[in-house]
């Protein structure tokens, strides 16, 4: 019993030592390296102002209360009745994709941008007018290397540069 336990301790220490001496790391060195995402990736959401029929389904289905209907000022004044359009709050969004799936006119689309980092709280809320302008382009100090994540049997995750 005691011998068995001692052997297990030694095994645990050996495994730890093996990993410590092996040079492999899984860290993605963002923002020096930026990951290239596969198709179907759920990043920040794009909104098509023209095809939206203002049905409100996206706001209704959103489990995180991130998508909400806002009164769109100009249109409301023009039409003399309140017109509501969706806006998104990235402090709440969990990128579940329900809104994209439910939209009857495909007015919401995922992009491959996932750099959801902002300076202020307010910047993260996208009311309809801002939402329509598309996803903000991420800013990097210097041009990042684009990499792709590869699943490797032996090493777990590996990052390969893409041209």
Partner 1 sequence: MQDLLSLIFEPYVFVPLIFPGITVAFLLLLVIIWLERKMAAKVQLRYGPLYVLKPLGGAIQMVADLLRYLFQEPIIPKTVDKLAFILTPALLFGMAYLPTVAIPVSPTFYAFRSDLSLLIVLALSTLAPIFTVVMGWASNNKFSLIGGVREGYIVVSYEIPMFLSALSMAVLYGSLDLVDIAEAQKGLWGIFLNPVAAITMLVLMYMSTSKFPFEIPEAESEIVAGAYTEYSGILYGLVMGASYVKLYVLSLVFSILFLGGWNPVPGFMANDPLLPGVLLFIKAFIIIVIGAFLRAVYPRFRIDQAMDLGWKTLLPLSIISIFISLAEVMIMGGA
**In the block, which residue shows the tokens 């179907």?**
40
To the nearest whole angstrom, how small is the minimum distance from the Cβ of residue 144 to partner 1?
Answer: 16
Q: Which stretch binds partner 1 (CB under 8 A): 10-18, 52-60, 116-124, 135-143?
A: 10-18
Contact between 8 and partner 1 (CB under 8 A)? Answer: no
Interface of this chain with partner 1, residues 100 to 159, rule: CB under 8 A: 156
SS3 of residue 76 by DSSP: helix
Q: Which residues bind ligand SF4 (CB under 6 A)?
A: 52-58, 61-62, 64, 66-67, 86, 88, 93-99, 102-105, 107-108
C-alpha torsion 47→60→90→76, nearest 10: 60
Binding site partner of 99, from ligand SF4, partner 1, none, Cβ cut-off 5-8 A by kind: ligand SF4
Q: Which residues pair with 125 in a beta bridge?
A: 89
Task: Give 104 or 156: the residue with its C-beta nearer to ligand SF4.
Answer: 104
Phi-psi region of 99 (alpha: psi -120 to 50; beta: other; left: phi over 0): alpha
């Amino acid at each position: 019993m005691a011998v068995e336990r001692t052997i297990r301790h030694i095994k645990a220490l050996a495994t730890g030592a093996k990993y410590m001496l092996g040079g492999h790391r899984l860290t993605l060195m963002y923002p020096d390296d930026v990951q290239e995402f596969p198709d179907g990736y759920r990043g920040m959401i794009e909104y098509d102002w023209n095809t939206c029929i203002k049905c409100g389904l996206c706001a209704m289905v959103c489990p995180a209360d991130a998508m909400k209907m806002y009164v769109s000022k100009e249109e409301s004044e023009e039409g003399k009745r309140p017109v509501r359009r969706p806006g998104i709050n990235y402090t709440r969004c969990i990128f579940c994709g329900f809104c994209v799936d439910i939209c009857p006119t495909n007015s919401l689309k995922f992009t491959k941008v996932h750099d959801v980092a902002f300076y202020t709280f307010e910047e993260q809320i996208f009311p309809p007018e801002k939402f329509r302008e598309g996803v903000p382009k991420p800013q990097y100090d210097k041009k990042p290397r684009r990499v792709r994540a590869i699943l490797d049997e032996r090493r777990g995750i590996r990052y390969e540069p893409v041209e």
